[in-house]
A and B are shown apart, each in its own frame.
Chain A
């Protein structure tokens, strides 16, 4: 207990790091029980229709196969908040890959062989899986993801566009994208004496418990969901996914622990994806580049199972001043897997389009793209008129330009060669909202001067344990080493999801509140009794408060690319992100998150894309050999920096979220750099060699 308190922001080494580098950190499918069974999900092999018969005899004859669960014998579920969880409840097939059975066996090998031996007969119906800009089934929903109105209009965008001396009208398209966390979605479920215990690979186990409680008709106190270590999620584990329901069903049916892991090749169809988008952006400006109109119109798809609308036009409501604006979403419900959250849903895809269009406008005007953005800084949030709690986009752009060596850039495209390589640079802005969800925490003081803080936070790789210990220690006036942090169990005080870049703010506010209450208690005098002192706090009130401010993090991305004129290959030689995201609470883990987001943005720009097979109706790139997430060789010089931002209107820590903004402007910055290098303005991601080659000398 000799360590002195450290200020928030110190580069504290992540607490669970030693377990991770030694291989002793246990993930959801690693809680070996000697009597456990293995479940293997059998996906539908048709795209639309219904199951007419499942013949299980051959599967059951496979040695060591225990049970085959189908809609004919699976437990009936109660309410499922999310219809993707209503598996094995009826014969309907809403999309290819929908689970039609779970084969349960003594060994993994037997479960897999049993799945292959299962005969499923289908009655098929015509399917429709390909999104187009003019798809006849496109409609305007009430809301886009996040509860944003689907349409917002300010002034008269059409008239202003018609009258503007300079206009851009460009359509950007991207296919589906897959989260592909390295740990596949996995659950191990066990019923003992009426209590259901589940190890689940989840971004928030309180939500998993509540969902299972409704689905299985149990009281919350009869369920414990543990997510101690989670091998990434990037949104795809934000809410329960089908494997946890299947594991719980199978465990109840067999009376034994059951482990279910979604096979990598089934993930594209089962765990959500970033929906493809067709985005039309129109900008109208005067000759100085001052915007008069911004129009951002998004077409996207959802499934037949539920409506999820990628809110790609929402960032245009935040970014730039313009008296006239229209931002609108339309969606078509197709026979496709259900889309869901993927890192910065809305912002990542929407800012690719908006920031590419801003670059097009800069080129059309002959104005430097950094300068163009500075000329359109709003004094208040354009859509709401609310003042920003803090907005340092301009500082990010100017500091980034300085660090990157942007000044003196020759705007001429296709003007720099280095052997076969064409060189170029590009810039884009980034934004991500500040979110806060209700959470609870307890803080306990022991007689020996140590503290224990409990909150059902989830560490999906962010370093949640570490930063929460820092927040608690700062509030308690002690060294972080004196604070034990207990997270990752639904038996702990309820925590919100590790998503929306809101985890640290949400859990941290609760931890800070509990810790300061504990300090007050201890300050009232008296000695700490042998059992210690515990106080609890929750943040229902804080989370429900409507802020009078528009609260967002901002950032600027700069990229230098080299395009091989012979092969069309793009190499990102340098990538720089400069962020204004409130107070950075742990410089070591924060830098890792910013850079990680930029690496994913690099993938979005260059390598990642998933195409919908019109004949078979599923994503073609369904494994890691065909869906190319960036590899080590793709990632050269990546730097992340931030500017000090003191924003009193956020939370007790003064922090904004950092988990998602890194991806937001990266793809546009790279695309803009490719245009600068080659003169080719491609408007379809990813920028693979086949797309670039026709434009190269």
Chain B
């Protein structure tokens, strides 16, 4: 990994070992962002606390709720479980990177139209997860709900309600919008 020693920007006189942070570049929503961050900083905290991208939410900071879901090189990931310093060179897409200008991503449109949200706190994670999930299915990734006979086939997995429910179960919604979320994804899934 290409890391350079961190420039100590902190108060003189404090204990500041220079090897506790690095300067590195993340590619976020198509823009290269060079950051000097504590090695303990997660991708989620880098986005929220250092880049002002608060679309990815912190629900548990434990990889248990999915509110922080982003796409890393096209695959969904819990950004609270990724150390930012380890993502040098990764292409990260957050909910802020899904729309094209004023034109919403079809999943964003579908969530609005179906009222697939209430408080909205899990929504960015749900939408990013759905984007990643549709791609995974298209790439032939099976799930627990995939019928036995379809497992031998490398082709795309058809996304019916059971598949969607299973594949979206890493994203908790306490408002209970699940039925509408599944409908919204069905509207968009091939």
Contact = CB atoms under 8 A, between A and B. Distances in A.
A624 B60 contact: yes
B17, B48, B118, B123 — most chain A CB neighbours (10 Å)? B118
A596 B176 contact: yes
Nearest to A663: B176
A460 B174 contact: no
Interface stretch (B71-79, B91-99, B151-159): B91-99
Given A263-B61, A631-B172, A63 B14 contact: yes
A99 B61 CA distance: 20
B129 to A, nearest CB: 10
Interface stretch (A14-22, A160-168, A296-304, A332-340): A14-22
Interface in B65-83: 65, 67
B7 interface: no
B179 interface: yes
A591 B119 CA distance: 14
Contacts of B94: 23
B186 to A, nearest CB: 13
Given A182-B121, A183-B119, A232-B174, A632 B182 contact: yes
A550 interface: no
A636 B20 CA distance: 48
B119 A632 contact: no
Nearest to B170: A631
B147 to A, nearest CB: 16
Nearest to A234: B174
A344 to B, nearest CB: 14
A588 interface: yes
B38 A20 contact: no
A264 B59 contact: yes
A638 B113 CA distance: 19
B178 A17 contact: no
Interface in A94-112: 106-110
B178 A593 contact: no
A64 interface: yes
A630 B176 contact: yes
Interface string B30-60: 0000000010110001001100111111111
B58 A261 contact: yes
B111 interface: yes
Interface in A170-226: 179-184
B68 to A, nearest CB: 11
A108, A463, A623, A638 — most chain B CB neighbours (10 Å)? A108
Contacts of A27: 54, 57, 121
Interface string B104-142: 100010011101011111111001000000000000000
Contacts of A110: 38
A462 B108 CA distance: 19
Given A183-B59, A624-B60, A23 B54 contact: yes
Nearest to A637: B179
A625 B62 contact: yes
B150 interface: no
Interface string A226-264: 000111101000000000000000000000000001011
Interface string A620-662: 0001110001111111111000000000000000000000000
Nearest to A593: B118
A589 interface: yes
Contacts of A372: none
A631 B182 CA distance: 12
Contacts of B188: none
B115 A231 contact: no
A64, A234, A596 — most chain B CB neighbours (10 Å)? A596
B178 A599 contact: yes
A234, A463, A631 — most chain B CB neighbours (10 Å)? A631
B101 to A, nearest CB: 11
A597 interface: yes
A107 B21 CA distance: 13
A20 B112 CA distance: 9
B27 interface: no
A566 interface: no
Contact of A598 (B45, B96, B176): B176
B181 A632 contact: yes
Contacts of A261: 58
Contacts of A592: 115, 118, 175, 177, 180
A32 B58 contact: no
Given A30-B48, A63-B16, A182-B172, A625 B64 contact: yes
Contact of A61 (B15, B41, B49): B15
B108 A22 contact: yes
A261 B98 CA distance: 28
A113 B165 CA distance: 38
Contacts of B55: 22-24
B121 A232 contact: yes
B59 A182 contact: yes
Given A184-B59, A263-B61, A596 B177 contact: yes
Given A17-B112, A27-B121, A632-B171, A599 B56 contact: no
Contacts of B98: 22
B187 interface: no
B99 A20 contact: no
A624 to B, nearest CB: 4
Interface of B: 10, 14-17, 20, 38, 40-41, 45, 48-49, 52-62, 64-65, 67, 94-96, 98-99, 104, 108, 111-113, 115, 117-124, 127, 164-166, 168-182
- Lowest 10 CB-CB distances: which A-B pairs, in order? A23-B55, A599-B176, A231-B121, A461-B119, A20-B120, A461-B118, A596-B176, A23-B95, A30-B54, A624-B64
13 contacts: A16-B120, A63-B17, A63-B20, A64-B10, A113-B40, A231-B121, A232-B174, A232-B175, A461-B118, A461-B119, A595-B180, A596-B177, A631-B178
Given A110-B38, A182-B122, A182-B174, 17 more contacts: A16-B120, A17-B120, A18-B104, A21-B111, A21-B127, A23-B124, A29-B58, A61-B15, A63-B10, A63-B15, A108-B41, A179-B174, A232-B119, A264-B60, A461-B119, A596-B176, A634-B178
